[in-house]
Amino acid sequence: MCGVISRKQLRYVSKDGKCRVNLCHISERSRFLSDIFTSFVDLQYRWFLFVFMMCYTTTWFLFAGLYFLNAYLRGDLQPEQRLNITKNHLLDQRPCYLGVDDFISALLFSVETQRTIGYGSRTVSPTCHEGVLLVMMQCIVGSMIDALMVGCMFVKISRPKKRAETLLFSRTCVIANRDDQLCLMFRLGDLRESHMVDAKVRAKLIKSRQTAEGEFLPLEQSEIDLGYDSGSDRLFLVEPQVIQHTIDSNSPFWELGPEQLRRHQFEIIVILEGIVEATGMMCQAKTSYIETEIEWGARFEPCMTLEKGSFKVDLRRFHATYPVPLPNCSASQAQQFLILKDYKLHDPRGSTEWGICVEETAEEDKDKQSRPVGFTIGDILEERMSEVTECEGNDEQNSLP
C-alpha cells in the first residue's frame, strides 16, 4: 500500500490533467511583463480579482491626489479666499474644481470622472486649463484600463479550460485481443450535447532510460501510435469510444508481459484536443495512466443500447470492465508461439527442436528485460531473427538422411 501511494506521488500528469512540473530559479522575470496580457489571464482568480480592483483603486487615488494638489496650489482650499471673491471677479477667480474642498471630495470627483457617473455637483472650471488636462488624462487612462481588464476578464471566463471538465477518461487501461491482435485500450467520452469539432487524440509514453553512451534521459517522451496513418485518431465524439493502440513490433509494449508491466515504471499521457462548438476555441484535456492502472486480460463493458428508436448511453458502465482469457505472455512471445504452431503443422519432424529453441528464447526474454537500456527494439528483433534462422538450420540438418 505504501508503494502504491508513493508511486501516485510521482505522476508527471495527474488524473485531472494538471502537469506536476514546477519551474524554479527563473532569473529573467521581465519576460513575463513583455506579455502582460497572457500573464494576467494565467493568474489565479483571487489574484486576478485583486489586480483588477487595484488597477481601478490606484488610478482613483492617484488622480484624486493630483486634483487635491492642484486645488491646494491654486489656493482653492482656503475658505477665507473663497469668501473674499467679489461678484465682478467671479468668473476669473472661481475655484478650479467646484465642489472640491478636501481630499474625500477630490476622491469622489475622481471616481465620477473615470466612471462617467456625473452627479452634477462637482465639475471642473473651463478657466482651469491644468484641470481640463487632468480630466482628459484620466479619461484616457480609464479607457485603457477598461479595455485591458474587461478583455482579460472575458478571455479568462470564456477559456475552454473548464470545457475539459465535461470530457471523461476511463480510470484504467485494458489489454486484450482485438481482431487477433493484442491491443492497449482506454475509453473516452463527452458529457455535453454540444460536441467537439475536429477532435483528435494522441498518447505519449513517459519513461526514463539510459543511452548506450551512459547518458541518463529522465522522463523521455515517445509517441504511442493510435492510428495516425489510418485516421483512427480523428474522432466523431458523439458517444463514448474505445481508443486502441495495437501492440506490434513498433510498439514500446511489444516485449512486455503482465509481470514486466508491473515491474517497469512508466506513465502514459493521453491528450484529447478539439474545437469547442459554442465558442470556436481550442480545448485540450489530459489524463495519465501508470503501470498499476493497466488491466491485463480485460475489456470495457458496452454502455450504449438501442431503446425506442434512439441510442441510449449508460454512463454508469463507462469505467466498468470485465475479464477475458488472455495468456500471460508478451506480444512477442505470442507471435513466437504462433510461428511454432504453424511450423508444427507444416513440418512435424522438426517440432521438437523448434520447441526447445522457442522455450530457450522465452526464458531469455526475462533476462533481456533487464539488459542495458541502450539496447533498442530493433536490436532485439535482429537478434530474434538470427535465433530463428539458427533453429531452422538445425531443423534442416536433422531432416537430412
Asked if residue 5 has pLDDT above 80, the reply is no
What pTM did the predictor assign?
A: 0.69
If phi > 0 it is left, if psi is from -120 to 50 it is alpha, else beta; for residue 308 that is: left
Among candidate residues 253, 263, 267, the one with its CA nearest the CA of residue 208: 267
Residue 130: how many CA atoms within 13 Å on its side-chain side?
A: 11
Confidence of residue 380 (pLDDT cuts 50, 70, 90): very low
Whole-angstrom Cα distance, residue 393 to residue 248?
27
Strands, DSSP E only, in 30-165? 97-98, 123-124
> Among residues 234, 237, 256, 236, which one has the least CA distance to residue 184?
256
pLDDT, tens only, 324-353: 999 888 888 888 888 877 766 666 554 455
Q: Cα(206)–Cα(146) distance, rounded to whole angstroms? A: 44
Which stretch of DSSP H or E encloses residue 145? helix 129-157
- The mean of the pLDDT values for the chain is 81
Q: Cα–Cα distance between 204 and 243 in angstroms, integer? A: 14
Sorted by sequence, the CB contacts under 8 Å of residue 53 that are 6+ apart come out as: none
- CA-CA distance, 64 to 66, in Å (whole number)? 5
| Confidence band, pLDDT 50/70/90 cuts, at residue 286 | very high
pLDDT per residue as tens digits for the range 58-108: 999 999 999 999 999 988 887 655 445 444 444 456 788 988 889 999 999
Which domains can be identified in the chain, with CATH numbers? 35-81+92-158 (1.10.287.70), 163-332 (2.60.40.1400)
pLDDT tens-place string over residues 291-319 = 999 999 999 999 988 888 888 899 999 99
User: Looking at residue 277, what is its pLDDT?
Assistant: 84
Closest listed residue to residue 269, CA positions, set 218, 217, 220: 220
Cell numbers for 21:
512540473
Cα–Cα distance measured from residue 207 to residue 193, given in angstroms and rounded to the nearest whole number: 37
pLDDT of residue 356: 54
What is the model's pLDDT at position 377?
40
- Contacts made by residues 14-17, CB under 8 angstroms, sequence distance 24+: 14/288, 15/169, 15/171, 15/287, 15/288, 16/287, 17/164, 17/285, 17/286, 17/287
Cα dihedral value 101, 106, 112, 118, nearest 10: 20
> Does 361 have pLDDT greater than 60?
no
% of residues, the chain, pLDDT over 70: 79
**Residue 119: band (very low, low, confident or very high) from pLDDT cuts 50, 70, 90:** confident
